[in-house]
Structure 1
Amino acid sequence: MKGSTVSFASQAVSKVPEVTIGFWVIKVAATTLGETGGDWVSMSLNLGYLVGSAIFLVLFIGLVSAQVKAAEFHRFLYWATIVATTTLGTTLADFADRSLGVGYPGGTTVVVALLIGSLAIWYRSEGTVSVESIVTAKAEWFYWITILFSQTLGTALGDWVAGEDRGGLGIGYEYGAMLFGAGLIVVAALYFWTRVSRTALFWAAFILTRPLGATLGDFLDKPVAQGGLHVSRLYASALLLAFIVACIVLIPQRSIRSEPAA
């Protein structure tokens, strides 16, 4: 039975794209859109964090379900699902930090626990958390739930580092983006010049790109008095969306396993 499972996994087609430079460019843009888009719905439209989270949760479940049911990799579906996780992650983190009154440190701690729990359960169930193993519906759900928690953590972490209220460290959005960018450079150096687990480095980079996007998004739409550029959240979101669509069209992408393994 075990041998047949391994044989199936080796021949199944993954619906996760290869992790290339283009992948990370789109990922950072998507996380920035998640910040501006999530804030536009919850703040600019005055719907609040709870209602905003409910709206994005419905989109998240619908898109993940479509992704799981798909027979092959579809680039627009995949990245639409990523954007859904970033917007939901934004409103969930803001709801925890602000509406629940636990502050940035408390919200970050809660989401760290959820992310570790998700990875631990996934590993216990599947024996790996590598993106190269995502060839079953069960593994896909683990993947997307873990991504959601990583996006939520990124928002909470970015707000904690850059914000001045609610227990924030107050280093500002520009310096926050530089800090997380430096963290990504360290991860890249470890990837190219060490033998550190590629799976661990992938998740480290995936988590760090979220607070980078969060601080960039806040830098775009926050008032000048708070260190931002005060760009309309709607306009910023529209520009980011156009950029993402252009990247998806122009940057070659294929699934990790585009052909059955020998």
Structure 2
Amino acid sequence: MSTEHVLDHRTGGHVGRRIRESANKVPEVTVYFWIIKVLTTGMGETASDFLAHLLGPIPAVGLGGLAFAASLVLQFSVRRYVAWVYWTAIVMVSVFGTMAADILHVGLGVPYALSTPLFLVALAAVFALWYASERTLSIHTIRTRRRECFYWAAVLATFALGTAAGDLSASAGLGYLGSVVLFAVAICVPALAHRFGALGAVTAFWTAYVITRPLGASLADWMAVPGRRGGLDWGLGPVTLSWTVAIVAFVTFLAVSRRDAERIA
């Protein structure tokens, strides 16, 4: 019997009602979660570049920041996980997180070799504060406003870190396709380590979560950039649109089927 059920028995059902009222605000981790996560990382990468070319860097960042803030306000306003609300916020984090990493490199001249460890330190600081406050980093317990704040701070840091790491590998001579192979192999490491008991579930999850960012971004860049840069030259706009359509299709499926929603007895 779970702790929640024990407490529910002892208090005549009051705890049970509080648990139902405080449903987890993030989806269950399924294969759909990882597919959409990779799609959002790639779409965010090409959408950020597309908007910067179309509107200019400063207007694009301003627009991205407003959309990011609005999506988080909406996410915090709902009381449970809602597929389209949650994944809209993830898309906006992806776009804005890419812009944040690009601003440091393009706008301020910070090399990827420096920004990557800086974002790593920022992510470690978020995790340290989160754990010191809540004694857990599990995404299965995002039931309070404070934990949700920590969660989204960590998500934003992982996107910025992953963007910088992906650009670092691409500029270091691997190219976009080489980076896809690198990160595809890398993401198998935490999965296998957890499978054979060498890595805890929470650590494995967040490690894989970080790696999905450069994996998806490198794949989308490879599809979009010209052949002279080692890509397929499909263009930023078409790649952004096609990946967006795929995201909408998967999120619509989950919204209808609720296969990734928490099931509370």
TM above 0.5, one fold? yes
Q: Using the alignment, how far apart are the partners of 1:66 and 1:127 within structure 2?
A: 27
For residue 109 of structure 2, what is the aligned residue in structure 1?
101
The letter for the 2-side match of 1:235 is P
For residue 35 of structure 2, what is the aligned residue in structure 1?
25
Between structure 1 and structure 2, the one with the greater Rg is: 2
Aligned length: 249
The letter for the 2-side match of 1:39 is D
The letter for the 1-side match of 2:226 is P
Contact 1:18 1:253 in 2 (8 A): no
Matches within 5 A, 1:74-153: 74-153=82-161
SS in 2 for 1:171: helix
Task: Please give the per-residue CA displacement for 1:65-114, whole angstroms capped at 9, x wherever unaligned.
Answer: 21111022210111111101110111111111221111111111221111
SS in 2 for 1:81: helix
Task: Please give the per-residue CA displacement for 1:123-144, whole angstroms capped at 9, x wherever unaligned.
Answer: 1121211101100111111111
Shift of 1:171: 0.7
Pick aligned residue for 2:45 from 25, 30, 35: 35
Q: Structure 1: state its 5+ residue gaps.
A: 164-168
For residue 263 of structure 2, what is the aligned residue in structure 1?
258
Contact 1:15 1:256 in 2 (8 A): no
Q: Using the alignment, how far apart are the partners of 1:108 and 1:52 within structure 2?
A: 23
Q: Using the alignment, how far apart are the partners of 1:25 and 1:253 within structure 2?
A: 16
Q: Structure 2: state its 5+ residue gaps.
A: 1-6
For residue 228 of structure 1, what is the aligned residue in structure 2?
231
For residue 166 of structure 1, what is the aligned residue in structure 2?
none
Q: Using the alignment, how far apart are the partners of 1:16 and 1:55 within structure 2?
A: 25
Task: Please give the per-residue CA displacement for 1:212-239, whole angstroms capped at 9, x wherever unaligned.
Answer: 0111121122111010112221111111
Point out the structure with the larger helix share: 2
For the aligned residues, what is the CA RMSD?
1.9
The TM-score, its normalising length taken from structure 1, stands at 0.89
Mean Cα deviation higher: 201-210 or 100-109: 100-109
Task: Please give the per-residue CA displacement for 1:4-34, whole angstroms capped at 9, x wherever unaligned.
Answer: 9xx5875420121110111101110111000
Q: Using the alignment, how far apart are the partners of 2:134 and 2:100 within structure 1?
A: 27
Task: Please give the per-residue CA displacement for 1:124-166, whole angstroms capped at 9, x wherever unaligned.
Answer: 1212111011001111111111101100111100000012xxx
The letter for the 2-side match of 1:142 is F
Identity %: 32
The TM-score, its normalising length taken from structure 2, stands at 0.88
